[in-house]
Amino acid sequence: MSQVTLYHNPRCSKSRETCQLLRDNGIEPLVREYLKDVPSADELRDVLSALGISARELLRTKEAEYKELGLADTSLSDDQIIAAMVQCPKLIERPIAIRDGKARIGRPPESVLEIL
């Protein structure tokens, strides 16, 4: 089986649950603490492609930085939103499991099982 990469925040309960769910299913994910190892804009574009969603759909809208950076502005392009996520990675929804060019957001954690 190919490697599963997990964009993970150990302080997030859903992220911890998703990591444990993968392990319970015999998969030791390659954990990427994206707040410390911030993905590049190109990496985020790849993740968005694997998820099949827009950059806006990956934004955490309840973070203070969402409001501070004016990200509710619907005229912002995906590139502008991606740049904001690179600048402030806590805006990236989590956790994200990636395998073989497919990805799922672990909300609920069981959704990541779809790509296994």
- CA 11, 86, 73, 93 torsion-angle sign: negative
Tell me whether residue 12 is one of the annotated catalytic residues: yes
What is the rounded CA–CA span in Å between residue 59 and residue 69? 12
Q: What count of residues does the chain have?
A: 116
- Amino acid in position 106: G
Q: Which of 6, 7, 10, 12 is catalytic?
A: 12
**Residues annotated as part of the active site:** 12
